Structure formats: C-alpha cells, structure tokens
Amino acid sequence: MLKVKHQGREKTCFVPLCRSGYRSNPEKVSMFAVPSDPVRLLEWERLIRREDRKLTATCVICERYFEDSHVDRTFKVTVDGVVNELARERPRLKPDAVPTVFDNYPRHLLPKKTPKREVRNLCDQTPAKRQKCDAGADIAQEEDKKQARIKTNKSHNISRALNRAKKSLAGVQQEVAQMKAQNESLSESVVEAKIKRLPQKQQLAVRTCFRAAQRRSLKGMTYDDNWIIECVMMRMRSHKLYEHLRRENIFVLPGRSCLQKYLQRFKGGFGLNPNIFSALKEKTKGMDTFSRHGGLLIDEIKLSEHLNVKSAGDIEGFVDLGEHTTDDQKGVLANHGMVVMFQPFTGSWTQVLAVFASRGNVKAPTLAKIIVEATVLAEQAGLYVDTVTCDGATWNRSMWRIFGIQGK
C-alpha cells in the first residue's frame, strides 16, 4: 500500500533578504508557521509584500518581524494559589499575531504611509484684499474672436467652392445647349443617311436606342422582330454578358419575360413553312447567282416518345409530316425526326427548310414527295438546288429508285 508523503515546512524565513535559517547565519531564532486561516494568510502576504513567491502553508517567518507582545515565551502555572511563570522550550505566536516589525526591510517594499494633512484654520488667516477679476471677460472676448475668425474662414471657403461649382455648371449647361442646337439642326434624312452607312445589325441597335430615347420608360416598348432574334441569340451565348449589357444600359435589351412574350408570337411547326421561303426570297435578292447554288441535306434521328403541352393548350409529340400525314398516322406518338436543310456551295450560312416528326423512318414514297416539294419551293425562293445528299439507308435507296436512280 502506497503511503502519502506529506510536504514538510521550510527551514528558511520567507521575508525577503532575511538570512534566518540559512547555514551561513549562525544566529538561532524561532520560526513560526503561517496561519491556516485563508483570510489571515492573505493579510500576512499583503504585509510582507513579496512578489516573486506566494505565501503557502509550508512557509515560515522568524520572530524578528513580530512584536514581543505577540509572542508567548512563558506559560503560567498556579500552585497552591500562587501563579508561577515558566519559560517555554519553544516560543509560540498568539492567535491574533501579525508581522509588523520590518526594521531592515527594503524601502521599496515597505507599506506606504499616507501623509497626514495639515489642518488649516481659516479664522487665523488675514483677510485678502478685494480685487476685481477681469480674466473671465478677457477669455470670453478672445474665444468670441476666435470663433468669428473660424466662421469667416469657413464662409470664404464655402463661397469660393460655390463660385467654382457655378462656373462648372454654367460651362456644362452651355455645352448641353450647343449639343441640343446641333441635334435640332440635323434633319431626320441626314441622321437616317448616317445610320444606313452602318452594318445591318448595328442599324437595328441604333434605331432601337433612338426609339428608347424618345420614351420616358422602357415599359411597354415594342421591339423589332429582327432585334428580338439577335437578343435571343446573345442571351443564348452568354446569359451573364446579356444581363450586364442590359443592367448597365449599354444596349436597349428586353428582359426575360419580354423575350418570352415575343417568342410566343413566332409560330413554329412541322412541315414546309411558307414563311421561311418568303424570308429566303427577300434574302436572295441581294445575293449573286453563284452564292445561291447549293444542295439539300436530309437526315433522320431517333427520338424518345414525349408529349409536351404548350401555353396555348396544343399538345406536341404526335406524328406530323405536314400535308403528307395520313389518317392512320394521326394521333400516333412520334419517335423519329427528320430535317431538310439547304447548304450553299460558298459561304458559312445554312438554312433549315423543314422538320418532320414520324413513327419510324419516313417511307420512300412520302420522302420522295417531300424532296420534290422542298426543291420546288427553294427554286421559287431564288435558290438553285443542284444536289440532294442523304445516307445509304434502305428507305433512302428506295426513294432513289422511285426517281429512277440506281447504283451497283
């Protein structure tokens, strides 16, 4: 079984610079233990004023720092009514003893005594001569002068800044008046002539900006259909850039809800759309003959069956071959799509002429009719169809045999 080792008391005095208890000091003095009461222990520590160590229960203090009245060196014994005093073998402290004698203590550690105030008797003093004090009035006058100088300087600074602002405003107003006069002197024909020198898409942007400048607000403003298409293409390329241009008013661009309303006006559908060929007819008027030569590209793709309800209540997803849809194909879900596109020999542009939705591949007789109709409409729009390109699927080879074309 382990025994608890009790820590013994120290043999040297706790008071700073005291040599009691050291081997180098032959003088024998009594050592007293510190009180166990925490309150009295704190009082002893406050009187000793040692900062490098803390007064603990194992510390001891020699008898030099206690008054003789606080030390019991004898004890009294009463024998037959006679009180006898006998010397104690070891002196002991009284319960209320505290260290108060610090003769050789460092001066900077001694408790500072509060100097006693000198009592002055006003009745014994001679009365002072009465004098009129004008210091308060002089100080008030100097303060008023200082405040007046500060206000004067502030008013001068404000007036100079105001004059500079007035001159700057007058110059700006004069420039605005000159610009207004120049704008009014320009006729609409001159402005229109300068706008026509710009590229087509820049003309759209400038005219849109001019229309927006004539309005107080952009709410309810109508936009050109071509400008709407350009806005949709810009927003598709970069949504963040589009919103930045619109938010910073770099261009007059419609918002997302406005674009959706305009897109609802564009009616798309399957089959050969006459609006496409009308637009092609206008476009080919400014093209040379060689740029209008090209060929038709036909390709099919397999799709998953899906029904889509439009905002107008129409349901999409059924077989739709335009005028070539038979009665038995109506109401049948489509799982294939076919595109007819015109590709010119020169230039980087292409134009989709028609799209179709079918159940399975488009049959050869129907495909032959679609090619003939697309070729005729493209020729009427000013294009020259020189080739028809498709893959070598079975139904496509059947379509070529209908046209009398065979390959071995």
pTM for this predicted structure = 0.40
**β-bridge mates for residue 77, sequence order:** 84
The two structure tokens encoding residue 86: 């006998």
Q: Is 399 exposed, middle or buried (0-12, 13-18, 19+ CB in 10 A)?
A: buried
- C-alpha dihedral (183, 185, 187, 193), degrees to nearest 10: -60
What does the alpha-carbon distance between residue 230 and residue 70 come to, in Å, rounded to a whole number?
Answer: 107
Give mean pLDDT, residues 23-49: 87
- Cα 305 from chain centroid (whole Å): 44
Say what the pLDDT of residue 269 is: 64
Report the distance separating Cα 168 and Cα 146, nearest Å: 33
Handedness of CA 86, 87, 90, 96 (dihedral sign): positive
Q: Which residues contact 274 (CB under 8 A, 6 or more apart)?
A: 377
In the predicted model, what is the mean pLDDT of residues 377-383?
90
pLDDT top residue among 112 and 51: 51
| pLDDT value of residue 104 | 67
CA distance 9 to 33: 8
Residue 391 has pLDDT above 50, yes or no: yes
Nearest Cα residue to 21 out of 29, 387, 391, 307:
29
- DSSP structure string for 95-111: TT------SSS-GGGSP
Please state the rounded mean pLDDT for residues 334-347: 88
Instruction: Please tell me the distance from the alpha carbon of residue 223 to that of residue 210, in angstroms, as a whole number.
Output: 12
Its sign, for the CA torsion 217, 219, 225, 228, is positive
For residues 291 and 279, give the distance between their C-alpha atoms in angstroms, rounded to a whole number.
16
Q: Distance between CA 251 and CA 235 in Å, rounded? A: 13
Evaluate whether 303 touches 336 at the Cβ level (below 8 Å): yes
Give the 3-state secondary structure of residue 408: coil
CA distance 379 to 399: 21
> pLDDT-based confidence at 4, cuts 50/70/90?
very low
**DSSP-assigned states of every residue in 328-343:** GGTTPBP-EEEEEEEE
Tokens of 137: 């009035």
pLDDT digits (tens, 9 = 90+) for 237-264: 888 999 999 899 888 899 888 888 877 7
* Residues in contact with 365: Cβ distance below 8 Å, sequence separation at least 6, in sequence order: 402
CA distance 267 to 278: 15
Q: What pLDDT, on a 0 to 100 scale, did the predictor assign at position 295?
A: 92
pLDDT on residue 293: 93
| Torsion of Cα atoms, 359 then 361 then 366 then 369, to 10° | 130
Query: What residue has token string 């209540």?
Result: 313
Q: Check pLDDT > 60 for residue 385.
A: yes
Mean pLDDT calculated for residue range 59-77? 85
Residue 369: count of CB within 10 angstroms of its CB: 17
Asked if 343 and 294 touch (Cβ cutoff 8 Å), the reply is yes
What percent of the chain is predicted at pLDDT more than 90?
A: 7
Mean pLDDT along residues 38-44: 88
3-state helix, strand, coil in the chain (%, to 5): 45, 15, 40
Measured CA distances, 353 to 297, 302, 333, 383 (Å): 10, 20, 23, 12
Q: How far apart are CA 398 and CA 26, in angstroms?
A: 133
**Span 116-165, pLDDT tens digits:** 677 666 666 666 666 666 666 677 778 888 888 888 888 888 888 999 99
Is the distance from CB of 390 to CB of 396 less than 8 angstroms? yes
